[in-house]
Chain A
C-alpha cells in the first residue's frame, strides 16, 4: 500500500459520512417531492444525528451497544479497504461480518421485535450476498483481477459487457439500502408487526451510531456501483447517482413484499441474470475472457 493510497483511504474515512449524510438528505427531499410534500432541508440528517447524539442514554443492555460499535467500525474498515484498492471478495466478507454485528446487537437483547428484525436481516443477507459475490466473479472475468486497484486500471467500462450483472446489483442495492419493496427487516415506515425491526431496542446515541454506519455503507455500495464505469471517474459517479435515484423511484412506487418473494427475486432473477451474463461473456464476448 503506497502513501497516496493510504491518504486516499483516510480521506475517504473522513469524507464518507458527509457525502453519505448529504445523499440521505437528498433522498429524503426527493422522496418528499415525489409524495407531494416539501420535505426537510438537505442538512436534516446531520441535525438528526446531532439531536440523537445529545439524548440521555437509555439502553436494554451493554452488549447491544458493543455490537453497534462493531457494526460501525467494521463498516468503516470496508470503506477504507475499498478506497485503498483491496480485494473485493475480502471487502464483502468483512461487510458480511459488519452486517452480522447489527443482527448480533438485536439478538443480544431478549426482545421479540428486535429478534424478528434480526431474523429478517439474515434473510436479507441471504438474498443479496450471492448477487454481490457472483458479480465480483463476473468483474473478475472481465478484468482478470479481484483487486479494486486492478479494476480501476481496466480501460473499458464494465457496464458494456456486464449489463445484466448491473441490473442484479441494483436489486442487491435495494435490499442492502432497505428500500421498498425490500424493507422487510427494519421497515423505514414503521409497520405494526415489526415496529422498527432490528432497530427497535436502539435509541439516542446508539441510533446515531447506526445512522453513521449507514452513511458509510451508502458510500461503499455506491462506490462499488461506480466501478462499473470506473474511467473516467465522473461517469462512474454519475452512474452511481443514477442508480441511487432509481432506488428512490422504486422505493416510492412499490409496497413491501414477503420475504419468500424477495428471495425468489434475488436468487431467481438476480443470480440468474449474473449467471446469464457470465455465460454471455464466455461465449459471446469470448475474446475478452482472461
Chain B
C-alpha cells in the first residue's frame, strides 16, 4: 500500500467505523465492526512505520476539494461549541467559542488570500509515526477493552436504552482525529483535528449525563477552548510574521526569527492546556467521572499526548531561546508539584491523573531543555507512559467494577481477592517507578540532559526534577503497599479468591496483560528501541543523536548503563527469593499487637483495647493531606503556574 493510502486509512477508517457504530444498534455486530478495524489500524500504523523508515519522511497533499471541506467542518464545529454554550448556559464556553469563531472567520476570510493553500498538507516524519503507533496500538486496545467494560457499566447503571453507540462513535472517532493531529503539517488542518479532539473529549466526559459529568465536560471544554483560542491567535501572528502556515516552516530547524517567538509561545500554551498543565489541571482531574476507558484513552494515548506532541514538534523552532528555558522551568515545576499533590490523594483515579500530569510536565520540560538527549528522553517517555498508564487505568477500571470503589483504602489486600489483576497493577506501578524499566530510563536521560543543559536555569530545573521523582516514590509505593497488605493463612486466614471473581480469559484481562507485557518488553529492548526509532526520530527533527547504543548499552557522554544486564540482576534479586524461599505453616505467627491478642474472629485478628473491649485489627494509609493536600497547596500551585506562564509570555514579548 502506498503511504498516502495508509494515511487515509489511519485517519478516515476510525471516522468511518465511528459513523457505522453510531448507526448499528445490534451489539454483536458492533463488536465485530469495532474489533476488525482496530486490527487494520494497528497493521496500517506498522506498515507506515516501515515505509517511513525505508523512504524517509512522507510529504504530500491529497488532491481534491479537501481544503473547502475542512473549512466547512471547522466552521460548523466552532458554531457547535457556541451552541453548546447557549444550550448549557455556560458563559465561558459561549464567550470563548464565539470569540474563536469570529477570530477564525476573520482570519480565514478577511486576512488570508482566497484560495490560500498550505503545501504540503501532511508531513509525516518518524516522530509523527511513533505518535501514530502509540495512538493506534494503545488506543485500539483500549477500545477493545471498552467493549466488555461498557456492557457491565450499563448493566451497573441500569440504563433503559443503551447509549453505547454514541460512546463508541466518539471513542473510535477520537483515534482518527488524533492521527490527523500528528500527521498534519498545514496549521489549518491541524486546527481542525485539534478541535475535533476537544469535541470528542467533551462528549466522552459527559457521557453518563449526570450533573457532575456535565459540569466536568463543560470545564474540559472551556479550558480546551482557551487553548484553541491561543492556536487561532498564534496562527494569525505566524501568518503575519512569516506568510506561512506550515509547521515545517515554523520550526525550520532553529532558524526562527525573534518575531516568531510569540506565535510559538501561543502554540505551546495551547499544548499546555491540552496537556492539563497547571493551572489547567482541573479539567483532567474532573474527567475521571467518565467511564474508565475514556480516562485510559485521554491519559495514555490521546488528548493530553496531543498537547505534549505540539510542544515537542515545535522544539527545534525555539531552540536556544528564552522561550525554551521558560518551558523547561515550567514543565519541571509542574512535574514536581503535581507529584507532591498526588501524595495527598486517596482516590485511585486522582492519583493516576496527577501522575499523568506530572509525566507530561516532564516531557514538556525535556522539550524545553531542547538538546538531543532531552528530546530522546521526551520521546521515550511518551511511549512508555502511554503503555503503562493504559495498563494502570484499565486495571483500576476492573477493580472498580469488582469492589465498587475507587478508593485506595478499599483496595487493601487485593492480592488475595483479585490476585491476577492486583499483580498486573503492581507490576505496572513498578514499571512506572523503578529502574531498570523504561520510564526510569527516560527520567535518567532527562536528569542528565538537565544537568548538562546550556541554560543557566538548569539548577532550578534539576532541583524540581529530583524532588518530583522522590514524591513519586511515596505515592506509588504506598499504593502498592495497600494492594499487598494481607494476613497469612492461619491467622485470620484470608479467603482465597474464587475463580469466578476474575474472568482471566476475558477480553479486558487480555488487553491489560498484553499492554503490560508490551511495556516490559519495550523496557528490556530499550537499547534497540532507541537506536531504531528514538535516535532517528530526533535526528529527523534536526538533533544530533545523544545516546550511543552500541553493544546494547545506553550510553550518553556522561554515563551509561546496560538495561538487559540490570534486568537480569534485579530480576534475579527479586525472583529467586520469590521462587526459592520456603516457609513452614507452623512457623507463621499472628502480627504483633502489643501482646493484647485475642483469638482470631471470622473478620481477622482481634485485640483487647480500652475497657477490655475486643477490637478488630485495622490498618490504613497515611495521606498527610494537611501538608500536601489540595486545600493547603492549590492556591500556591495555581498562582505559581500562572506566574510562570506570565513570565514566559512577558519575556517572549519583551
Contacts and interface: CB of A to CB of B under 8 A. Distances in A.
Chain B interface residue count: which class?
35 or more
Contacts of B450: 137
Given A89-B447, A145-B559, A146-B558, A96 B473 contact: yes
Contact of B581 (A65, A90, A93, A123): A65
A104 B484 contact: yes
Contacts of A252: none
Nearest to A144: B558
B570 A65 contact: no
Nearest to A195: B592
A63 interface: yes
Question: Per DSSP, are chain A's interface residues mostly helix, strand or loop, or mixed?
Answer: helix
Contacts of B477: 100, 103-104, 122, 125
B435 A90 contact: yes
Contacts of A97: 434-435, 570
A57 interface: yes
Given A107-B481, A110-B486, A133 B459 contact: no
A87 B434 CA distance: 16
A169 interface: no
A260 interface: yes
Interface string B576-596: 111001011001111111100
A37 interface: no
Nearest to A106: B481
Contacts of A100: 433-434, 473, 477
A146 B622 CA distance: 35
Given A110-B591, A140-B451, A70 B474 contact: no
B589 A58 contact: yes
Contacts of B452: 140
Interface stretch (A11-19, A153-161, A230-238, A275-283): A275-283
A265 interface: no
A129 B473 contact: yes
A122 B478 contact: yes
A201 B591 contact: yes
B470 A93 contact: no
Nearest to A109: B591
B574 interface: yes
A115 B619 contact: yes
A65 B448 CA distance: 36
Interface stretch (B42-50, B124-132, B373-381, B460-468): B460-468
A207 to B, nearest CB: 13
B488 A137 contact: no
The CB with the most chain B CB atoms within 10 A, among A60, A76, A125, A267, is that of A60
Interface in A53-76: 56-63, 65-66, 69-70, 73-74, 76
B560 interface: yes
A141 interface: yes
Contacts of B581: 62, 65-66, 69
B617 A60 contact: no
B463 A77 contact: no
A89 B452 CA distance: 14
A223 to B, nearest CB: 18
Nearest to A101: B574
B463 A271 contact: yes
A107 B447 contact: no
Contacts of B647: none
A112 B617 contact: yes
Most chain B CB inside 10 Å of its own CB: which residue of A73, A110, A263: A110
Contacts of A111: 591-593, 619
A77 B569 contact: yes
B440 interface: yes
Contacts of A141: 451
Interface string A91-132: 001101100110110111111111110110011011101100
Given A93-B435, A110-B413, A129-B469, A260 B451 contact: no
A113 B592 contact: yes
B591 A60 contact: yes
A103 B486 CA distance: 14
A57 B584 CA distance: 9
A94 B565 CA distance: 13
Given A119-B478, A126-B474, A141-B451, A86 B561 contact: yes
Nearest to B478: A122
A200 interface: yes
A237 to B, nearest CB: 25
A169 to B, nearest CB: 14
Interface in B598-626: 604, 617-622
Nearest to A80: B569
A147 interface: yes
A101 B561 CA distance: 22
B577 A140 contact: no
Contacts of A123: 474
A71 B11 CA distance: 49
Contacts of A88: 559
A65 B433 CA distance: 22
A134 interface: yes
Contacts of B578: 66
A77 B460 CA distance: 31
B649 interface: no
Nearest to A145: B558
B573 interface: yes
Contact of A107 (B462, B485, B574, B583): B485
A14 to B, nearest CB: 17
Contact of B485 (A86, A101, A115, A122): A115
A90 B444 contact: yes
Contacts of A60: 487-488, 491, 588-591
Given A65-B581, A66-B577, A93-B440, A107 B470 contact: no
Given A107-B481, A112-B617, A129-B466, 17 more contacts: A59-B587, A73-B572, A90-B435, A93-B440, A94-B435, A97-B434, A110-B619, A113-B592, A115-B481, A122-B478, A126-B471, A129-B473, A133-B470, A141-B451, A147-B559, A275-B459, A275-B460
Q: What 6 A-B pairs have minimum CB-CB distances, sorted nearest first?
A: A107-B481, A61-B488, A146-B559, A69-B577, A73-B573, A129-B470
23 contacts: A60-B491, A62-B583, A65-B583, A69-B576, A87-B560, A87-B561, A90-B435, A94-B570, A96-B434, A100-B434, A100-B477, A104-B477, A109-B485, A109-B487, A110-B486, A111-B592, A122-B478, A127-B470, A140-B448, A147-B559, A195-B592, A201-B592, A275-B459
Interface of A: 56-63, 65-66, 69-70, 73-74, 76-77, 86-90, 93-94, 96-97, 100-101, 103-104, 106-116, 118-119, 122-123, 125-127, 129-130, 133-134, 137, 140-141, 144-147, 195, 200-201, 260, 263, 267, 271, 274-275, 278-279, 282
